[in-house]
Chain A
Amino acid sequence: MSDSSKDKSSDIGSEKGSKVSASSPTQVKKSKGKKKNITRGPGRRAQEARRQFLRSVALTAGVTSISLLGFMPIPSEGKRQKLRPPGALAEEDYLSSCIKCGQCVQVCPVNAVKLDDIGTGFGLGTAYIDAREQACDFSCDGLQCVLACPTGSLTHTLDYTHDTRMGFAILDKPKLCLAVAGKGFKGQARGPDYEGLLRYEEIDRWNPIPLKDHPYDVEICDLCVQACPIEQRYNQCKDGKYPSGDENQCPPERAIGLELIEEKNGVRHMKPVIYDGCVGCGVCEMICPTNEPSIIIDYDKLTKRPLSEQYIAKSKKAGH
């Protein structure tokens, strides 16, 4: 008895709501008719309530398990972990704290910051940088993305560009490198179709220009060294011209330079060498004129472990 009366009240509450439009007199009649039904047997009402309960359990299980699919990012074969914007916390903390609003995307003057898609699982909506497409060249000078971040995913303890540690460069394919081969470079670094931007202080301090609008002509290719924002700042400071007039903006160490290397077999050639000052901004990867970039950002600056390894470790950890 108590069961049936409960069902009745809940039915009026929830079910009717969606089906109403009947006028009140017919409603009265209906409930009279149903009373009879209930006394006859277990009752359609009770049955429907049971079904609704089972459906609700199924819905809970279904949606919850779909949400847990975030643990299994679609592995993009051969792809490296993307860079995070300057100041990003360690990957785990970054993913938990990012509120996915894209304010960092909006303030970036070179549109380097983009938002991840659903293929990255819980990385959906988080900001990343694909350096080969468009690297962060620090042309905002003030780390605008860090200032824009409302949650501290991009940590506010970061003050200067040289404090950044997005990654660490590595000469990934020395055989491709033009400098190693003793070759020079003439023309647009990435060809006429490349849309990426780069800031050239001597051309326009405030507005980055398309890379294709600034062709190079060098006897030994040193584009990665020329374009490196840390190297540029380092050199400015050496000349006594502090970036933004602030001595604190001076990087304490160099990031990259061409060195004359003597191999074991006695062959001498130039080679880009990465120093501890490298922050992993990715400008060298972006500007490298070889078809595949000879130099890439693939190491975590702190641990000096490959970012790709970190990515694998992450998916393993998620899979347990």
Chain B
Amino acid sequence: MNTYLESLAQLFGRAPRKPRKDELSPAAQKMYFYKKGEKVTKAQLIALHDEHHKNSKNKWRKRRWLTLIGVNLLFVLSFSLDIQLLEGALTASRFAGFHMADLNSALQVMLAHKTVLINLLIGVVTVFIMWIILGGRTFCSWVCPYHLVAEWAETLHLWLAKRGWAKNYTFHRGVRAVFYVIFALLAIVTGYTVYELISPTGILSRAIIYGPTMALVWVALLLLFEIFLSRRAWCRYICPIGITYGIVGVLSPLRVTYDMTDCKHEGDCRAVCLVPHVLDLTIKNRSIDVEVGLGADCTRCGLCVDACPTSSLNFEFKGLTHKPEKAVEERPLMPESHSSSKESAIDEAALISKKEKAKEENV
């Protein structure tokens, strides 16, 4: 229960904190103990990374981009070719006749209109169940068209930032929760779906389906802001859709899971992540257990899964994914340690030399 609350709190902006020693599970404590002093050179990491990704570079990103483009294309084709499979836009649609409604748009409409219509409710329930199963913010990275263009803008931003031509001003993440409340209140008070006016998701989705509009200028301005001033600002600090789906995702069985066993704590995953705070548990001494699911703010985009040189991050569907049992005993890093002497003071030097040996074996 506590982990769910913590996951929600972080969704609303709380910074993840370093757990106290007694909060770590014994297994995690043991593992961190043996990881102490373990040093990995950049060259080793690169070698590890290359070895790991020999056959599958950007595997999840490819799948995700295909899915995202496919879903949005289905909207377009349903209209332009009149195949009527997925009518409407991302804000509300009908899939093979079944009502679907974007949870955030539906929420804004209900708050503004103060009436709940049965069709809308059916659409909301359908979509709610769908995203509980599929992971909540999975919507963001696998469906939202703004996410895709923002990803491209991010690449440009990073390229420019490396040369000092772009800044990355950060904001407090809690500001997104503030926006959430503001837009909810504005909808109630004004009776207009105020957020929909500036929602790049809705604007882009409609532009793709029904043709370009002047509203795209606003989307372009947002992208420029992200490129030159603040990396992924909209998704990170503003978009209430992210919070809506994040809340749905708290309970979702589909998530990315972190296994610290092989982790080198080098931070490749955090460097590519849209919401790096969910990956803070990959920092040494931050994960409370050997295996932990990432928080609700995770968009399940899989960039970290692609980036991780040690397969420490993986997609998991709770109860369905069968993970091959990792035989901890066989690991060279943990020789005969699990038995008795975990608390007794082990000679540090001996340990380090052991590890070095192990590393040589590894290489």
Contacts and interface: CB of A to CB of B under 8 A. Distances in A.
Contacts of B266: 23-24
Contacts of A171: none
A125 B170 contact: no
A294 B112 CA distance: 39
A19 B277 CA distance: 12
A21 B115 CA distance: 49
B271 interface: yes
Interface residues of B, number: 80
A122 B93 CA distance: 21
A20 B40 CA distance: 16
A105 B210 contact: yes
Interface string A46-87: 000000110110011001101111110000000000000000
B256 interface: no
Nearest to B271: A21
Given A55-B169, A56-B172, A103-B87, A20 B194 contact: no
A14 interface: yes
Interface string B251-289: 000000000000001111011010011011001100000
B15 A13 contact: yes
B197 interface: yes
Interface stretch (A91-99, A190-198, A263-271): A91-99
B215 A12 contact: no
Contact of A103 (B40, B94, B174, B218): B94
Interface stretch (B176-184, B320-328, B330-338, B340-348): B176-184
Interface stretch (B58-66, B98-106, B129-137, B139-147): B98-106
Contact of A18 (B39, B91, B170, B179): B170
Nearest to B171: A56
A125 B109 contact: no
Interface stretch (B185-193, B242-250, B308-316, B353-361): B185-193
A9 interface: yes
Given A9-B17, A99-B91, A102-B206, A125 B196 contact: yes
Interface in B1-58: 15-18, 39-40, 42, 45
A13 B297 CA distance: 14
Chain A interface residue bracket vs B: 35 or more
Contact of B113 (A59, A66, A68, A96): A96
Contacts of B182: 60, 64
A122 B94 contact: no
A92 B114 CA distance: 13
A197 to B, nearest CB: 15
Nearest to A105: B210
A269 to B, nearest CB: 44
Contacts of B267: 20-24
A182 to B, nearest CB: 43
Nearest to A69: B197
Nearest to B84: A106
Interface in A107-155: 107, 114-115, 117-119, 121-122, 124-125, 148, 150-152
B198 A63 contact: yes
Contacts of A150: 88, 92, 94, 99, 101, 117, 119-120, 123
A63 B179 contact: yes
Contact of B276 (A17, A95, A103, A121): A17
B91 A13 contact: no
A21 B268 contact: yes
Contacts of A107: 87
B62 to A, nearest CB: 23
Given A53-B172, A101-B91, A102-B89, A17 B280 contact: yes
21 contacts: A9-B17, A14-B277, A19-B168, A24-B265, A24-B267, A55-B171, A60-B179, A63-B198, A63-B238, A66-B198, A67-B194, A67-B198, A95-B191, A98-B193, A99-B102, A100-B92, A100-B193, A101-B88, A106-B78, A118-B197, A150-B88
Interface of B: 15-18, 39-40, 42, 45, 78-79, 87-94, 99, 101-102, 105-106, 109, 112-113, 115, 117, 119-120, 123, 168-175, 178-179, 182-183, 186, 190-198, 202-203, 206, 209-210, 213-215, 217-218, 231, 233, 237-238, 265-268, 270-271, 273, 276-277, 279-280, 283-284
4 nearest CB pairs, A to B:
A13-B15, A17-B276, A101-B92, A118-B215
